[in-house]
Structure 1
């Protein structure tokens, strides 16, 4: 090997080493630049579902969950309110519903049904209705705010019975059912 060949190799080897060192520096710089422009941010939040609970009361003070029937509440009205009703008599009593939910409730019109001869007689049945004590019927879609209470008046009207079959009639039941949905 000649001196010039050896010198060329040394120069070439030095050039290759310098080139590799330069590439390594560029790679490190690129990696450092990428790391400097990378960032993460995280968010978290707790989630809870709303509560939904309609309650009823026959005295305006003690609110309870009634018998649950397909998303509705059903309460027995105090028996004394309508016992010993006479022909042609009108009787009223108050009941209350409360939205014990964390959200507003959209009410359905109450369903009033009666069983037994006094309510089911084809010719002369007792009639029953429910209205807001402040006035007006409960219409489907009325809203009861969360925590709000609504007083209602139940009215039962007896026709002028002349038939003896109505005397001392027992086994008669008035059921008022309220349904609500979250709004």
Structure 2
């Protein structure tokens, strides 16, 4: 074989290889583009409102703390009952937990409470009137002042 023939063959193979790569590359790009697609969804977003309100004996609705009135002035042993209302001012259900009473340590645990008619949940804009009875024990320290706080926890999830 002559040198010219080998050079011609190498040149022809190089040109054929470059042409094959070019064809495959362009064909691959076209194939990839032909199989690409997408769809998009969009919308306005607004989160739910969660707001539990309370009122005492027909009063206005408040977030709290809500004044229980004069019922605890000159307190003596016995029971004091209040009608308290809860309103779900939310856009979702409010699941009610067990009420919690915190009493000033100066009162030596002499005040406890019980709740009647507390539902497990309230629908949006629903409300309920409940009776809360504060039990004042005989061992209430005389001439002692302090604070008490009654809390009704609620959650948007069970």
Offset at 1:90? 1.4
Matches within 5 A, 1:100-179: 100-118=89-107, 120-121=108-109, 125-132=110-117, 142-161=120-139, 166-170=141-145, 172-179=146-153
RMSD: 2.5
Closer/same/farther in 2, CA of residues 159 and 65 from structure 1, 3 Å limit: closer
Kept in 2: contact 1:96–1:152 (CA 8 A): yes
State the alpha-carbon separation in 2 of the partners of residues 113 and 131 from structure 1: 18
Could you say what secondary structure the match of 1:153 adopts? strand
State the alpha-carbon separation in 2 of the partners of residues 160 and 42 from structure 1: 70
Aligned to 2:13: none
Could you say what secondary structure the match of 1:51 adopts? coil
TM superposition score normalised by structure 2 = 0.64
TM superposition score normalised by structure 1 = 0.56
Closer/same/farther in 2, CA of residues 85 and 61 from structure 1, 3 Å limit: closer
State the alpha-carbon separation in 2 of the partners of residues 50 and 81 from structure 1: 37
Report how many aligned residue pairs link the two structures: 120
Aligned to 1:49: 47
Residue segments in structure 2 that go unaligned for 5+ positions in a row: 1-37
Offset at 1:44? 4.4
Residue segments in structure 1 that go unaligned for 5+ positions in a row: 1-39, 67-73
Radius of gyration: which is bigger?
A: 1
